[in-house]
Structure 1
Amino acid sequence: MFGAMRKTPLMIEFQITQEYLGFSNHLVYLASLFKECLNSDTYSDG
């Protein structure tokens, strides 16, 4: 998606609030998920 829309400003949105992570009774480790998303190829160069 990012590579196909070169002239459109785009940004990734991460849901890190307690509402999406199981409120206050669960511990969630999402650093590996965020790392995978940020390191993924956007195909902006083809």
Structure 2
Amino acid sequence: MTEENQKKLYEHFLKTEQKERAEAVLVVYPNFKEVEQETKSKVKK
């Protein structure tokens, strides 16, 4: 899975309130922490 796909998956799960799945994406891709911070700031706006 590419980083772009990870980002889309993570954002989709956050937007659809599927926190457990969003967390699972992070567990599978530990290098994803910086994207998580970026995404959370985008979602809140």
Structure number, greater radius of gyration: 1
Q: TM-score, normalised by structure 1?
A: 0.34
Higher relative contact order (CA 8 A, sep 6+): 1
Higher helix share: 2
Q: TM-score, normalised by structure 2?
A: 0.35
